[in-house]
């Protein structure tokens, strides 16, 4: 959510930003907000004037009563009562107008960074850099669930009977590999100076609307029936929510945090051949990185975050590339975003395994996360987040890139301590 003062003073810049995101249907909201904001300020001025007049008149009544002029005092008192009714009317209108302003402001997109490429959707995202040499082996790479099944490592049929589509059982070495990657990612981030956190896996609605757009909320979040609680879609939600209505001392910044959680997503509208298996699912686990920092430091931390993911995947000998998200692929709260994609030898292309986002002050404005500077000045923090690793999707890249022709899978050196010293997984089938 942008600053209403900025919108008031720069309406054309806000409209141009909307056009860059190809959301022309939101252009009218800018004029609506300006009109409502003008009315809101008129109401406040009238209320203040009436209150000041009432205060002065109340003093006059006191003087009249003191001087024995009761009838004149009572007549003035009746006039005050009428004006008091007008104040009540105005305050009710003020509440309604402010609600309308808030509703519109929540869907007007954040001003994107000037470096963001302009494009309509993810097909126009821009490749930035490749890390590691993508290899296509001279043998056929099976579908990832077939590889898992060769180790007796997955049961989708039973998961379907128990929970429906989009769920899974991971078993044996595959389950252990899943946990090994998560644990290694945790230690990797701790070694880089991040503080490890296990957050709540449910959040209230005011946190949900503080960390994401309404469109994202509708497409992602599972609500707990009968309660003001939602299952988190990523630990970023509860990690940023931790600071709701808080004043953070500037000397504590930056807050560099890494969090583990299960994640739950409706994945509304997901489709396509690669959506089967464990590519796009309703439940998964993830290691995340979160930054709360001063505004001037957020570009630096954006670069540090995506580099951490690249380094993690390269340490596991998986080729990756970075992709700059274009304007039309940015969620409304994001200032800038970059995807990390891993190489798939089977598909002979890259696919997303992580997303790094700078949200500027959007989440902080919604959640009232403020910083108190050394000079006593108060300002909104900037927040950023990035995926460290999210198996089981990450397992697809791992298994395909480490598969050998005989069906075995090599374990890179960094993961062996988490796999009981194993350097090779031998299929059962």
pLDDT at 287: 97
Among all chains, which residue has been given the structure tokens 């598909």? 347
Type and span of the H or E element at 349: strand 349-358
Q: Is the same domain home to 35 and 149?
A: no
In a domain, 244, yes or no: yes
Q: How far, in Å, are 73, 342, 358, 392 from residue 389 at the CA level?
A: 74, 11, 18, 9
List the alpha helices (DSSP H) in 138-198: 144-150, 156-162, 172-191
Structure confidence at residue 75 (pLDDT): 67
Instruction: Specify whether 191 is located in the same domain as 302.
Output: yes
**Which residues are bridge partners to 247 per DSSP?**
370
Question: What contacts 135, CB < 8 A, 6 or more positions away?
Answer: 319, 343, 345, 401
Looking at the structure, do residues 242 and 166 belong to the same domain, yes or no? yes
Domain boundary among 44, 75, 105: 105
Mark whether 283 and 229 lie in a shared domain: yes
- Say yes or no: 292 and 322 in one domain: yes
Domain holding 10: CATH number? 1.10.287.40
Which of 351, 340, 302 has the alpha carbon at shortest distance from 128? 340
Average pLDDT of span 315-340: 97
* Same domain? 126 vs 100: no
Which residue range(s) make up the domain with 180?
122-425
Q: Edge to edge, what strands does the sheet with 195-197 contain? A: 126-131, 320-324, 336-344, 349-358, 382-389, 283-293, 255-264, 195-197
For residues 366 and 108, is the Cβ–Cβ distance under 8 A? no
Domain contains 116: no
Q: Is residue 182 part of a domain?
A: yes
Residue 274 above 70 pLDDT? Answer: no
Q: How far apart are CA 189 and CA 257, in angstroms?
A: 9
The predicted model gives 129-135 an average pLDDT of 97
pLDDT at residue 264 is higher than 60: yes
Is 113 within a domain? no
Distances (CA, A) of 362 to 11, 208, 209, 211, 310: 18, 13, 11, 8, 26
In a domain, 110, yes or no: no
Weakest-pLDDT range from 58-72, 143-157, 224-238, 304-318: 58-72
Q: What is the mean pLDDT of the chain?
A: 92
For residue 139, give the CATH number of its domain: 3.30.930.10
Q: Looking at the structure, tell me whether residues 101 and 126 fall in a common domain.
A: no
What is the SS3 string spanning 223-258?
A: ECCCCCCEECCCHHHHHHHCCCCCEEEHHHCCEEEE
For residues 244 and 209, membership in a common domain is answered with yes
Domain count, the chain: 2
- 117 in any annotated domain: no
The dihedral built from the CA positions of residue 390, 1, 377 and 47, taken in this order, carries a sign that is: negative
Asked if the structure places residue 82 within a domain, the reply is yes
Q: Are residues 237 and 327 in the same domain?
A: yes
What is the mean predicted confidence (pLDDT) over 16-30? 97
Q: Are residues 90 and 130 in the same domain?
A: no
Where a domain ends, among 78, 105, 132? 105
User: Who's near 230: CB < 8 A, 6+ residues apart?
Assistant: 202, 203, 204, 205, 208, 221, 222, 223, 224
Instruction: Judge if 138 and 24 occupy the same domain.
Output: no
Q: Is residue 317 part of a domain?
A: yes
Across the range 317-322, mean pLDDT stands at 98
Domain match, 87 and 151 both: no
Region 171-183 average pLDDT:
97
Residue written as tokens 């598969």? 403
Q: How confident is the model at residue 7 (pLDDT cuts 50, 70, 90)?
A: very high
Last residue of a domain, one of 73, 105, 137: 105
Q: What is the pLDDT of residues 96-118, one digit of tens each?
A: 999 999 999 999 999 999 999 99
């Amino acid at each position: 959510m942008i600053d209403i003062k900025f919108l008031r003073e720069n309406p054309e810049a806000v409209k141009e930003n909307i056009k860059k995101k190809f959301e022309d249907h939101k252009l009218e909201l800018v004029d609506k907000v300006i009109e409502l904001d003008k009315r809101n300020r008129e109401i406040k001025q009238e209320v203040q004037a009436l209150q000041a007049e009432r205060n002065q008149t109340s003093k006059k009544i006191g003087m009249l009563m003191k001087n024995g002029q009761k009838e004149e005092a009572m007549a003035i008192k009746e006039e005050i009562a009428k004006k008091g009714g007008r104040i009540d009317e105005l305050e009710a209108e003020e509440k309604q107008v402010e609600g309308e302003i808030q509703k519109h402001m929540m869907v007007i997109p954040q001003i994107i960074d000037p470096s963001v490429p302009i494009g309509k959707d993810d097909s126009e995202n821009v490749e930035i850099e490749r890390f590691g040499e993508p290899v296509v082996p001279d043998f056929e790479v099976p579908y990832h669930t077939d590889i898992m099944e060769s180790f007796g490592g997955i049961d989708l049929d039973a998961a379907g009977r128990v929970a429906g589509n989009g769920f899974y059982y991971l078993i044996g070495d595959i389950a252990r590999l899943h946990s090994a990657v998560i644990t290694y990612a945790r230690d990797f981030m701790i070694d880089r100076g991040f503080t490890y956190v296990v957050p709540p896996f449910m959040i209230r609605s005011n946190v949900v609307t503080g960390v994401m757009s309404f469109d994202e909320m509708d497409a992602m979040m599972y609500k707990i029936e009968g309660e003001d609680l939602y299952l988190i879609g990523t630990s970023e939600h509860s990690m940023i929510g931790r600071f709701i209505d808080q004043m953070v001392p500037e000397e504590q910044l930056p807050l560099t945090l890494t969090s583990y959680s299960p994640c739950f997503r409706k994945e509304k509208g997901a489709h396509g051949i690669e959506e089967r298996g464990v590519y796009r699912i309703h439940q998964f686990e993830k290691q995340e990185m979160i930054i709360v920092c001063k505004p001037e430091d957020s570009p630096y931390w954006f670069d540090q975050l995506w580099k951490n993911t690249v380094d993690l995947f390269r340490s596991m000998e998986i080729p990756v590339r970075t992709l700059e998200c274009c304007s039309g692929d940015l969620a409304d709260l994001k200032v800038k975003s970059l995807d990390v994609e891993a190489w798939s030898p089977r598909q002979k292309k890259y696919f997303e395994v992580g997303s790094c986002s700078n949200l500027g002050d959007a989440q902080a404005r919604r959640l009232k996360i403020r910083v108190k500077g050394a000079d006593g000045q108060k300002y909104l923090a900037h927040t950023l987040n990035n995926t460290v690793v999210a198996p089981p999707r990450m397992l697809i890249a791992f298994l395909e890139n480490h598969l050998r022709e005989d069906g075995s899978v090599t374990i890179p050196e960094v993961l062996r301590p988490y796999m009981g010293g194993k350097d090779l997984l031998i299929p059962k089938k």
